[in-house]
Amino acid sequence: MNLFVPLVLMTTRWQETADLDRDGLLDSWERDGFGPIDPKLHGCKPNRPDLFIVFKRRSGVTDEKFKPTVDRIIKFYADLPYMNADGSTGIHVIPIIPDALDAKDDDKGYQSLYETGMPKEWRGLAHGVLVEVGTGGGGQTNRPDWCGSSNRWHTIVHELGHQLGLDHEPKDGRIGSPFFTSLMNYDYSYQFNDSGEAVHYSTGKFVGMRMQESDLWEWAPFPAKDMEFLTKRPYYFKVRPDGEDACEIDWNRNGIFGERHVRADVNDGYSTDFRANSTLDLAAGAPCLVSLGEDLALITPTLPADKKYDKNIWRLDSETQGEITVQIIKAGKITSTEVVATSAIFPAVGEASAIFRDGKLLLAYPDEAGVVLTELKREDDKFVSGKMRRYIAQPGEVTVVNTPNGVEVLHWNRESKAITFTEWEPKRTRVIPALHSEQPVAAVWNEKLGVLAVVEVIDQEKKPGRMRISHLKYGASGWKVSDQIWVEGEKGDAATSSRPVILFDGSRDRGPSGGYNIYCKGRTDKPDAQAVGFVCRQIEDPSLGDGWRVRMMGNEWAFSMNSPTAVLHNGDIAYAYRLAFGDGKQKIFLSQKASGIDDRWLTDFDEVAFVFQQGLQDSLRRVQREVGLVK
């Protein structure tokens, strides 16, 4: 039997399909040419990865504006630290730059421009980028060979990373990590170690670091100089050496190093993340959350059943009166619904505030004549309405707060901006002259200092909507202001145009004095405007934001119509807001784990090796199968 002929056929077939450098381009194409690929013109080789990129520009992106961008992209990939078969390192980028799009296509989205922008002869052979006018903004990727991006090399390389199979998180961890130093990580997309030129794909240097935010050790087996990047944007952690080969990191920012079993949100460079999420019913204003132990009470302004939720309804008022609905939430699902205020009995003209005390939900809301106080007793899995009464007050909003001296109802006067304190029982009303707010106030009892903390919204001369905490102590003559502190310092920027919410955390992780979390909707020129939410977290380090760290909640698309709400719940933080757009518009979004503290492992990932060994080839193979170049 002659084995020579089958062996020759096998060798020939292998040579026809070989891709030794794993760049997705067959060796024969890079050696002999194929379609638009010209080895002499493009300088491609079978023993070094080549990356063809078609840059289709919008009509306003000129050669002069784009050349620095493409030059920096070429350098980025050439500098990747990976040894090739020919002794070189990096990836050889070959830019294909056809004529810019016609101005008639300016209003079309990048997805719809694939057919126009990605030449058919290059499909399966190249990656494609639609280059937008301007360097601001981000990008998006919808195919393994197509994305839209601003004319900024950082953003284009990020979107190309998605085409090559890279994610925002380490592939082995699926959660954002401060050790994952890639520009794919939103925390390092535009800078690393305070340098815009130092951004990179991760080499997996810290892949041996595996930590959980719910159980951290403030020690790392790396020299302090290797962790210096953590002391800069976006984290500003404190790091100190522990000998020559290790260091300590103050993960919870409480001013104490070397602690074990620490709980802290250490990957909040981009935002504080949501977990255990659910979308609930429609609402006609800001929600209020109350912890019931294992369960939650969700209190919302709602419209009567015979009225529709119009897109222009931002909140209840004297013209749009409604109801107050109380729901019990178990494991993210509504198990009971009780309508407290109806259109016939004390209809609501604003938002509700409530606390849970001695087995009762104590709830207050404004109606046309003043403030309505109602008590609801929990029986099994529902609330049963109890006594309801009203006291006369000017139009405004209310805040209910629990103190060792009893329950207080803080009434904000919409006209005068003054704050009135009314005891739940026995009824006694007092005005606190030192308090004044442009928006309804927030309040919480600080058990460490023995004070009531009230958050006012103050218009500074050039910065409207700044937040200030007034500490009040109770004496023989009632409540008096003892001291005041600005959120993020008097010269800071933290601001809102709606009611804030304040929590106090006295746990070890917040330092000897504990710390506040203040949640608010971002400031807008008009109160009735959507905005993302923020958390202002008090920390022990006064060098950072005068002792405050301000982070976005969720992401840049988590727009709310009204103020958010938050409550300490089951060892975490429950957070809710009213969705501002999409299919769920005007519905309540609930996160039962909004502290940002996750049980999943924080780690790193070697993206460079992945791109060379798998990403380049896999991304093109998907398109090649689609267009019939390979089986």
pLDDT means over runs of 10, the chain (631 residues): 42 66 98 97 97 97 97 98 97 98 95 96 98 90 95 97 97 87 96 97 95 97 98 97 98 95 96 96 97 97 92 90 96 91 87 96 95 92 88 93 96 96 84 94 98 98 97 93 97 97 96 95 93 97 94 96 97 97 94 96 97 98 95 79
Same domain for 356 and 387, yes or no, is yes
Q: Is residue 328 part of a domain?
A: yes
- Please answer whether residues 376 and 388 qualify as being in contact, where contact means their C-beta atoms are separated by less than 8 angstroms: no
- Which pair of tokens denotes residue 601? 């492992």
- What is the rounded distance in angstroms from the CA atom of residue 441 to the CA atom of residue 455? 5
Q: Is residue 38 part of a domain?
A: yes
CA-to-CA dists, residue 287 to 38, 302, 315, 554, angstroms = 63, 10, 11, 17
Phi, then psi, of 169 in degrees rounded to 5: -120, 165
Same domain for 587 and 617, yes or no, is no
Give CA angle at 404 (403, 405), nearest 5°.
85
- Which pair of tokens denotes residue 106? 């300016």
Domain harbouring 336, CATH code: 2.120.10.10
3-state secondary structure 288-352: EEEEECCEEEEEEEECCCCCCCCCCCCCCCCCCCEEEEEEEEECCEEEEEEEEECCCCCCECCCC
Q: Is residue 588 part of a domain?
A: yes
Q: What's the predicted TM-score (pTM) here?
A: 0.92
63 contacts: CB under 8 Å, gap ≥ 6: 97
Rg (CA), the chain: 29
Same domain for 82 and 136, yes or no, is yes
Same domain for 582 and 617, yes or no, is no
Same domain for 415 and 520, yes or no, is yes
- Please answer whether residues 444 and 401 qualify as being in contact, where contact means their C-beta atoms are separated by less than 8 angstroms: yes
Q: Is residue 487 part of a domain?
A: yes
Same domain for 567 and 623, yes or no, is no
User: What helix, strand, coil percent values describe the chain, rounded to 5?
Assistant: 15, 40, 45
Domain harbouring 51, CATH code: 3.40.390
Q: How high is the pLDDT of residue 425? A: 82
- Please answer whether residues 198 and 191 qualify as being in contact, where contact means their C-beta atoms are separated by less than 8 angstroms: yes
Which range marks the domain in which residue 592 is found? 275-596
Q: Is residue 194 part of a domain?
A: no
- What is the rounded distance in angstroms from the CA atom of residue 532 to the CA atom of residue 254? 27
Question: Could you tell me which residues are beta bridge partners of residue 146?
Answer: 128, 143
Same domain for 386 and 430, yes or no, is yes
Same domain for 529 and 620, yes or no, is no
Q: How high is the pLDDT of residue 172? A: 74
Same domain for 533 and 620, yes or no, is no
375 contacts: CB under 8 Å, gap ≥ 6: 360, 361, 362, 363, 386, 387, 388
Same domain for 563 and 616, yes or no, is no
Same domain for 496 and 618, yes or no, is no
Same domain for 331 and 469, yes or no, is yes
CA-to-CA dists, residue 586 to 235, 310, 614, angstroms = 34, 9, 44
Q: Is residue 222 part of a domain?
A: no
Q: How many domains does the chain have?
A: 2
The count of other CB atoms within 10 Å of the CB of residue 534 is: 23
Q: Is residue 43 part of a domain?
A: yes
Q: Is residue 202 part of a domain?
A: no
**Residue found under tokens 């922008």:** 117
The count of other CB atoms within 10 Å of the CB of residue 628 is: 8
